[in-house]
Amino acid sequence: MNCPRCQAPALEGAAFCEACGVRLERGCPSCGAEAGPAARFCRNCGSPLQAEDRAPAAFTPSHLATKILASRASLEGERKQVTALFADLRGSMELLESVDPEEARRLMDPAVQLMMDAVHRYEGTVNHVLGDGVMALFGAPIAHEDAPRRALYAALAIRDSISRYGEQVRREKGAVIQVRVGVNSGEVVVRSIGSDL
């Protein structure tokens, strides 16, 4: 077996890759069943698995990645006021149960991309992608005095774009797609930022 990220040989039964540290065994975000490192869909419920593995570098636009990597050494150990944004699709479990897994992925992936686009528009950093949502930070690693405002603008942009997309999906497929967004601010101490962001 090889690591899905770096392709280094992985020992049988290893939980993490010795070369890059990626988790080799994972669970389905929908039902919790174990899934192998190369699995794209859950063998138990058919839910998509692949989106949760992507490193932040895989979905960070190059102009933002350049800013992040240029400032990473100066940020380490620094106290920052950071605003976190979490957005996910409401009722995605019901959607997964009601349609074919590949169709569910075709419906959810554009919604998650719209969320990421809104975050990037306001120079937020997506640091975790779930099957049906994103977690993003504003204020670190890219510093902005108005990080809370940027996060709120991104939240409104997510609400508006998912509303338009949801209306299109409702007309074409009869499925309901709605979004929930939460925003919170607080002080953090920034840790080391690796080259995979």
- Domain-embedded: residue 197: no
User: Same structural domain for residues 113 and 183?
Assistant: yes
C-alpha–C-alpha distance, residues 35 and 184, integer Å: 32
User: Same structural domain for residues 69 and 139?
Assistant: yes
User: Same structural domain for residues 113 and 184?
Assistant: yes
32: pLDDT strictly greater than 90:
no
Give tens-digit pLDDT for 136-191: 999 988 788 999 999 999 999 999 999 999 999 999 988 888 999 999 999 988 76
- Residue 196 has a pLDDT of 47
User: Same structural domain for residues 41 and 138?
Assistant: no
User: Same structural domain for residues 6 and 61?
Assistant: no
26: pLDDT strictly greater than 80:
no
- Residue 58 has a pLDDT of 53
- Domain-embedded: residue 194: no
User: Same structural domain for residues 84 and 42?
Assistant: no
- Are the CB atoms for 66 and 57 separated by under 8 Å? no
3-state secondary structure of 73: helix
User: Same structural domain for residues 47 and 90?
Assistant: no
Among 10, 38, 53, where does a domain finish?
A: 53
Which CATH number goes with the domain that contains 65? Answer: 3.30.70.1230
User: Same structural domain for residues 95 and 167?
Assistant: yes
3-state secondary structure of 51: helix
3-state secondary structure of 171: helix
- Domain-embedded: residue 195: no
Q: Where are the beta strands (DSSP E) in the chain?
A: 26-27, 34-35, 79-90, 125-129, 133-138, 178-189
User: Same structural domain for residues 47 and 75?
Assistant: no
Max CA pair span of the chain: 50
Give tens-digit pLDDT for 61-118: 665 556 555 555 555 567 889 999 999 999 887 777 777 878 888 888 899 999 999 9
> Tokens standing for 86?
């979490």
Instruction: Count how many domains the chain has.
Output: 2
Residues of the domain holding 24: 1-53
C-alpha–C-alpha distance, residues 169 and 175, integer Å: 6
Among 33, 53, 73, where does a domain finish?
A: 53
